[in-house]
Amino acid sequence: MASAEVTIRGAGIFGLSCAWACLQRGARVRVVDPFGVGAGSSGGVVGALAPHVPETWNDKKAFQLDSLLMAEGFWAEVAEVSGLSPGYARSGRLQPLADERAVELARGREATAAALWQGRATWQVVAASGAPWEPASPTGLLVHDTLTARMHPRQACEALAAACRVKGAEIVPEAPDEGAVIWATGAAGLEEMSRLAGRQIGVPVKGQAAVLRHDAGTVPQIFAAGVHVVPHADGTVAIGSTSERDFDGLGTDAQLDEVIAAARAAVPVLRDAEVVERWAGLRPRARSRAPMLGAWPGRPGHFIANGGFKIGFGMGPKVGQVMAELVLEGTDAIPEGFRAEALF
């Protein structure tokens, strides 16, 4: 290709989403990652695109809502262009309600969701039906929201990378910086930025998750006992995950065993499901806990898209949009709580 107008370092969900948005605006794009597509935390297994609770509204929740509402069209176009399935389905989520206080809170959120979610999704308290897939609920009541979606992280990254190639992008292991440079380098990138800045910009947080063999069909995912239980279209169910600030090594251990046990207790139909994969990886958590977006202070022409932590896939479509607008058009629509310069 001719010289790139945008070089993107990192082929995870933020880097690929930025590449896709820049390509759609006609830019020449090169993505550089020595480890390949989805090699970091974007190559995980869970794939829960779940909203924050609809209350105490802030910029982070509003940004996430926009992105989750964009997701269906975003991934449908990626699938059409690439010819590959990202495993996306807006299939909703069930959460058991443990006691009357939890029921009261959940009912209060019904009206709030109706107002904040623009009538495009619902949050409702429903009676458990006793269906095999439902989680056990002490009150016999569940929250059912229709905004939550699932996707297969690895398939999504491969589909998005393939769609970018169709649009003319190069995805290569090594290349020099050309044009504007977007750094979407995940946990390792946060550590390097912290070293260069002489202060903590962000930290890696270890997560462990597992894949069970169980074909649940098209049913809502479940959040129960602090665990996400996500049925995928390939006849598996992903469960996770731990969130470990202090860790010794990148293997899986007894903490994942506890997650698996919690999922089996919450969703009894999984009691005898075979564990077919155990996964561990490092997720990028910016100091602000929100995504970290914008110009890199002191480095003209360089930009940052990092800090996806546990919500990177849900935020990806909107992150790509605002970063492409900033880099290519000079339009800054980054929320105050996300601004990279605030962390330096």
Domain at 11, CATH number: 3.50.50.60
105 belongs to a structural domain? no
Answer yes or no: is pLDDT of 54 > 90: no
pLDDT for the residue numbered 85:
98
Would you state the pLDDT for residue 56?
A: 87
How far are the Cα atoms of 232, 292, 295, 340, 344 from residue 303, in angstroms, in the given order? 34, 10, 4, 9, 13
CA-based R_g, the chain, Å:
20
Whether the Cβ atoms of residue 153 and residue 38 lie closer than 8 Å to each other: yes
Confidence of residue 3 (pLDDT cuts 50, 70, 90): confident
Query: Would you say residue 1 has pLDDT above 70?
Result: no
238 has pLDDT over 90: yes
Domain tally, the chain: 1
Residue 256 in domain: no
Under 8 Å CB-to-CB from 302, ≥6 apart: which residues? 180, 181, 182, 183, 295, 296
pLDDT of the residue at 146: 97
Q: Answer yes or no: is pLDDT of 317 > 70.
A: yes
Q: What digits encode the pLDDT tens for the residues 183-207?
A: 999 999 999 999 999 999 999 999 9
Per-residue pLDDT averaged across 300-318, rounded?
96
Is 154 within the bounds of a domain? Answer: yes
Residue 284 has pLDDT above 90, yes or no: yes
Residue 244 has φ and ψ, to the nearest 5°, of: -115, 110
pLDDT higher than threshold 80 for residue 2: no
Question: What is the mean pLDDT of the segment spanning 305-333?
Answer: 97
Is there a domain that residue 24 lies in? yes
Instruction: With respect to residue 157, please indicate whether it lies within any of the assigned structural domains.
Output: yes
User: Minimal CA–CA distance to 186: which of 2, 342, 33?
Assistant: 33
Name the strand (E) or helix (H) holding 6: strand 6-9
For all residues of the chain together, what is the average pLDDT?
96
Which residues contact residue 318 at a Cβ distance below 8 angstroms, ignoring those fewer than 6 apart? 63, 64, 66, 67, 70
Structure tokens at 20: 């896709």
Which residue bears the tokens 């619902």? 122
* pLDDT over 90 percentage in the chain: 94
Write down the pLDDT at residue 251. 95
- The whole-number average pLDDT for the span 270-274 is 97
86's CB contacts (< 8 A; 6+ apart) are: 75, 78, 79, 151, 152, 155, 156, 159, 160
Look at residue 107 and tell me if it is in a domain: no
Question: Which candidate, 72, 37, 78, 74, places its Cα nearest to that of 166?
Answer: 78
When comparing pLDDT for 274 and 52, which is higher?
274
Q: Is the pLDDT of residue 236 over 70?
A: yes
Q: What is the pLDDT of residue 59?
A: 87
Q: What is the pLDDT of residue 9?
A: 98
* Residue 277 covered by a domain: no
Tell me: pLDDT of 75 over 90.
yes
Residue 60 has pLDDT above 90, yes or no: no
Structural domain of 315: 6-90+149-201+287-343
Q: Per the structure block, which two tokens stand in for 160?
A: 């998005």
- Please check whether residue 134 lies inside any domain of the structure: no
User: Please, what sign has the CA dihedral across residues 142, 147, 150, 153?
Assistant: negative
